[in-house]
Chains A and B, each alone.
Chain A
Amino acid sequence: MALAPAMVRLTGIPVCGGSRVGPALLYEESPDVVALPDVRPQDLDAEVERLRRALATARGDLERLQAALGGDAGVGGIFRAHVLMLEGVTPAIESEIRKGIAAERAAAGVLHAAAARLARSPNRLMAQRAQDLVDVERRLLRALSGAGATVGAAPAAAGQPVVVVARDLTPSETAFLEGRNVAALALEQGGVTSHSAVIAKSLGIACVVGVAGLMDRVQHGDTLWVDGTHGTVVLHPDEGTRALALGQGERYDRFERTLLAESRLPCETLDGHRVTLLANIEFPLDIEAGLARGAEGVGLYRTEFLYRSGQPLPTEEQHLAAYRSTLERLGGGRLTVRTFDFGSDKEGPGAEAGEPNPALGVRSLRWCFVHPEAFHTQLRALLRVAAEGDVRVLLPMVGSLEELRRARALLAAAARELESEGLPCRPDVPVGIMIEIPAAAVIADLLAAEADFLSIGTNDLIQYDLAVDRLNPRLAALFQPSHPSILRLVRDTLRAAAARGKAVTLCGEMGGHSIYTPLLLGLGLREFSLTPGYIPRVRRLLRGLTLDRARRLASDCLALATAEEVEAHLRRHVAPLGAG
């Protein structure tokens, strides 16, 4: 009998929890196509036919993806564009094959050249589309290889769940994992903020990224243990280790179920202080996820999904229908709608071409001001739906009092217009602002005097305050929620609002990381708006705390000088939550 292969433990970055064991399904890079021999003249027709079959497969995959993401407006739109791109390159690839070049080489050559050409486009929006061509190329090459490892081919339902192993996945590839028989995801590249990580989180797949040496060591079918809580991947786990892994996985699942069962319990601290838990809604399906976890309402309803790439902006009736159906599903809970936040990393009709620095460019509210008709339409719909329930308007990227006043004036004008048309509306709908530009946090006292509520958006606040691009994996270590500057900005914002009797919600990722929950409570936060998946953990933590203890923890942290010290202090004093 052959010796069992040696167990190897690899370390990466933990993305989301769960401990899963399964056979590896290698998601290969594009095959090396340069070495492929030329096609003999008598085989040219067959080669073109092979290309056409692969194109049909790729197209079918894209259409299924589009259908699977049907409700998700902008996301589905990407794949419609990919179909057009595939069609666009087909004649060039065929003519290359006719010259005797193998289909794979022809496809890679044509798509590479097209991507390179697009990347050099003077139009910045167009240059960004080069990545789409890379996605299209990989899909086509995989279809051509015929064999095995496309994500679309991952076994559905039957058989043992697999561990998908890849260097990196494009967003479409990761999204396709949903509903498939995938136990876990292990990636050699990527950071916690990469698209793959974000999608894996929302799908609830155990996931570890940034695992150096992964692809060199793992073969198809190798048994792997992925520990998404601790960020380890173990290749060929031995008998004892597997038992450990399975036990840990069961504890994790049991813990998840217990947490979910607590969703109806009131969210209050041991000493009886109430905390409001709200949901962040990205796509309509998130509403059910939030309600199932006991969210009391929606603290952040992102409206960019209403814009479908390639389509005109939504009409007033389309806005109204989306808000109304959400409000009805909430059954009396509040619905905080953020006005259009296009620009920067959220591609939309507003991503302005040729801006050298889009994060500091015409985005969000600034975009709304230069597209007054689009903003007006949205404001009219919000005023109308506000007459039907607890609706609040949230303005993103406010940096000054003038911007708040200007938006309020536009809202008032829209209300007068609706009244003159005899349409029911609520002119005094509460208007809040996002605190995500450091300047807004610094003048939170001035803003709180006029805004009805504040909402701290930590993702952008950290990005702008620390001057760290939150999507740049090479800067991931500098993206520090526990930086003393961030703690002070959050504290000052909470104080300024409290002094004026205004409520503050926090809707960034920071609120969902359980290590920061007691700190934020201690700093004075009473409303957390969270990605639905995070709600049960935060509820459990808050129910086990006293406000006194949280306040002591916060004041200790504020006395520390570096993010590292704050992290270390939190790790020492915040009891790890959960099993395994």
Chain B
Amino acid sequence: MSDAGGEPAARRRVTVVNRRGIHARPAAMLVQRARAFPCELALVLLEAPEGSGAEPGTRVDAKNVLDVMFLAAPAGATLEIEARGPDAEGAVTALAALIATGFQE
């Protein structure tokens, strides 16, 4: 897991809207999008619906497909996207848009 080194340069809260949550295909899409940016990107699971099994507080590297798959953020979960480094704002906006539009599912 990436370490929270200092305050993020940009952060954004977003709700997972696609019905099956961030499973393998959205995870791959998200990672590919994240890698287009030079900054460090992390996802933090803030809240998850009761009984979904996902653990709030989990922080993962948004550029690692396995990390994002482990997170298994379900529909209705609230995520925080954190970016540290160049183009932090652009990266956060791009990932938030992808998640908020339900990965075009």
Residues of A at under 8 Å CB distance from B? 80-81, 84-85, 87-89, 91, 114, 117-118, 121-123, 125-126, 129, 133, 309-310, 312, 349, 352-353
Contacts and interface: CB of A to CB of B under 8 A. Distances in A.
Contacts of B89: none
Contact of A123 (B66, B72, B104): B72
Nearest to B52: A122
A352 B75 CA distance: 12
B55 to A, nearest CB: 9
A121 B28 contact: no
Given A89-B66, A123-B74, A310 B105 contact: no
Top 9 closest pairs, chain A to chain B, by CB: A122-B53, A88-B66, A123-B72, A84-B65, A353-B20, A125-B23, A88-B64, A88-B65, A312-B104
Interface residues of B, number: 22
Contacts of A84: 28, 31-32, 65
Interface of B: 20-21, 23-25, 28-29, 31-32, 52-54, 64-67, 69-70, 72, 74, 104-105
Contacts of B64: 87-88, 91
Contacts of A126: 23-24, 69, 72
Contacts of A118: 66, 69-70
Contacts of B72: 121-123, 126
13 contacts: A85-B66, A88-B65, A88-B67, A114-B66, A118-B69, A123-B21, A123-B53, A126-B24, A129-B69, A310-B25, A349-B105, A352-B20, A353-B20
Per DSSP, chain A at the interface is: helix
Contact of A310 (B20, B28, B67, B74): B28
A371 B34 CA distance: 28
A349 B25 contact: yes
Contacts of B65: 81, 84-85, 87-88
A382 B69 CA distance: 36
A129 B26 CA distance: 14
A368 to B, nearest CB: 15
Contacts of A88: 31, 64-67
Contact of A81 (B28, B54, B104): B28
A117 B53 CA distance: 13
A118 B74 CA distance: 15
Given A122-B52, A125-B24, A310-B29, 5 more contacts: A81-B28, A84-B28, A123-B74, A125-B20, A349-B105
A149 B8 CA distance: 48
B23 to A, nearest CB: 4
Nearest to B67: A88
Nearest to B25: A310
A123 B74 CA distance: 8
B98 to A, nearest CB: 12
A319 B83 CA distance: 39
Nearest to B51: A122
A287 B39 CA distance: 48
Contacts of B20: 123, 125, 352-353
Nearest to A127: B72
A84 B29 CA distance: 11
* B53, B66, B104: most-surrounded residue (chain A CB, <10 A): B66
